[in-house]
C-alpha cells in the first residue's frame, strides 16, 4: 500500500513542481526564469505552427524547447520521486500525504510572489505565476 501512496505523492509533487518551480529558460535572444509547464505549452504551440509549415527554423526551435522539457522535466521528476520516497520512508502514509500537501500549499503560496522572470529581449522583468500564465496564454 505504501508504494501506491508513494506513486501518488510523486505524481502530485511532480505536477506542482512543473507548474511552480522557476527554471532557467535560454533561447537565442530570450531568457528568463519560468516554470517548465510554460515551456511545455510553448512546445505544444510550436508543434502546431512548425509541423504544417515544415520549416527548418520551427524544427530547430522545437528541438531547443524539447531539450528544455526533457532535461528539466526529468530533473523535476527525480526531485519529486526523491522527496516522495523520503516522506514515505520516514513517515506513515497519512503523515506523508499531509506533509506533501503542505509542500504543495507552500509552493503555490511562494508562486504568488515575483520569483519568475518573464523572457523578453534584453530585459527579464519580475512576475508572479498568474502574470506568467497570462503572458503565455495568448
Q: Which of 138, 97, 72, 125 is nearest to 10 (CA)?
A: 97
What nine digits make up the cell of 110?
511562494
How does residue 1 score in pLDDT terms, banded at 50, 70 and 90? very low
End-to-end Cα separation, the chain, in angstroms: 43
| Residue-number span of the structural domain to which 125 is assigned | 2-137
Q: pLDDT of 54-65, one tens digit each?
A: 777 777 777 877
- Label residue 2 by pLDDT band (50, 70, 90): low
**C-alpha grid cell for residue 1?**
500500500
Which candidate, 116, 133, 134, places its Cα nearest to that of 125? Answer: 116
Overall domain count for the chain: 1
**How large a percentage of the chain has pLDDT more than 90?**
25
Amino acid at each position: 500500500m505504501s508504494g501506491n501512496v508513494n506513486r501518488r505523492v510523486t505524481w502530485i509533487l511532480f505536477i506542482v513542481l512543473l507548474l511552480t518551480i522557476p527554471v532557467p529558460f535560454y533561447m537565442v535572444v530570450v531568457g528568463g526564469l519560468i516554470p517548465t509547464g510554460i515551456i511545455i505549452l510553448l512546445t505544444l504551440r510550436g508543434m502546431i505552427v512548425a509541423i504544417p509549415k515544415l520549416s527548418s527554423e520551427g524544427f530547430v526551435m522545437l528541438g531547443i524547447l524539447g531539450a528544455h522539457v526533457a532535461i528539466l522535466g526529468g530533473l523535476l521528476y527525480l526531485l519529486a520521486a526523491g522527496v516522495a520516497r523520503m516522506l514515505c520512508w520516514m513517515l506513515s502514509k497519512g503523515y506523508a500525504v499531509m506533509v506533501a500537501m503542505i509542500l504543495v500549499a507552500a509552493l503555490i503560496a511562494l508562486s504568488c510572489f515575483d520569483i519568475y522572470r518573464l523572457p523578453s529581449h534584453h530585459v527579464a522583468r519580475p512576475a508572479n505565476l498568474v502574470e506568467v500564465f497570462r503572458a503565455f496564454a495568448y
